[in-house]
Amino acid sequence: MKRRARRFAEKAHRGQKRKNRDIPYVTHPIRVAEQLERNGFPEELVCAAYLHDVAEDTAYTVEDIRVEFGDRVASLVEAHTEDKSKSWKERKQHTIHTLKFSDKEIKYLIVADKLDNLLGLEQDLAEQGERIWDNFNAGYEEQKWYNESIAEHMYEGLIDEDVPHYFYEFEETVKRVFR
């Protein structure tokens, strides 16, 4: 099923590029899925990682994902899909709320996604400088608020042995990028 999810994501994101680079967008969900797979998470969660931006950023819907991959994968994707009809701030507040109150698998998906985005942003800052903020719907201060809020709430409801190492990596990356 993981191979099918990857192929589905590659097809759905065909032609899309990352925000600050001329590289295929699908490299992002692939890295998120690989992070979850390295941490030994279930197949459904890894599949959801491959597909996490499909309903949000392509012509495919959560229902398409449900038909192809079942209810569990679709519900994980749906929990992490932003409503693009809302403002940037409303969407990010919803993600923070979801992170704060959701089960651990959704937390794992959200933080793996945000870590990969932030590592890419850190690299872009090093290579391109502060001008990269012009490519975002929200600038430095808003991005700082959002990422610090993710770091603040990602541990809620988890016991120590449920916290994967990449949560700590996210926390450290937030400190580096928004020092």
Question: Quick one: which of 110, 143, 111, 112 has its CA closest to 125?
Answer: 143
In whole angstroms, what is the distance from residue 131 CA to residue 55 CA? Answer: 29
Are 53 and 28 in contact by the 8 Å Cβ rule? The answer is yes
pLDDT for position 150: 98
Residue 86 above 90 pLDDT? yes
pLDDT band at 56 (very low <50, low <70, confident <90, very high): very high
Tokens read off for 148: 């610090």
Verify whether residue 122 is a known catalytic residue: no
Q: Which residue has the higher pLDDT, 135 or 5?
A: 5
> CA 51, 175, 155 angle in degrees (round to 5)?
55
Residue 57 appears among annotated catalytic residues: yes
> Per the residue annotation, which of 57, 68, 148, 169 is the catalytic one?
57
Distance CA 3, CA 10 (A): 11
What's the CATH number where 96 sits? 1.10.3210.10
Q: What is the pLDDT of residue 153?
A: 97
When pLDDT is cut at 50, 70 and 90, the band that residue 135 belongs to is confident
Among candidate residues 34, 43, 56, 78, the one labeled active-site is 56
Number of structural domains, the chain? 1
pLDDT of residue 137: 79
Q: What's the confidence (pLDDT) of residue 93? A: 97
User: In this predicted structure, what is the pLDDT of residue 101?
Assistant: 95
**What domain range includes position 23?**
2-177
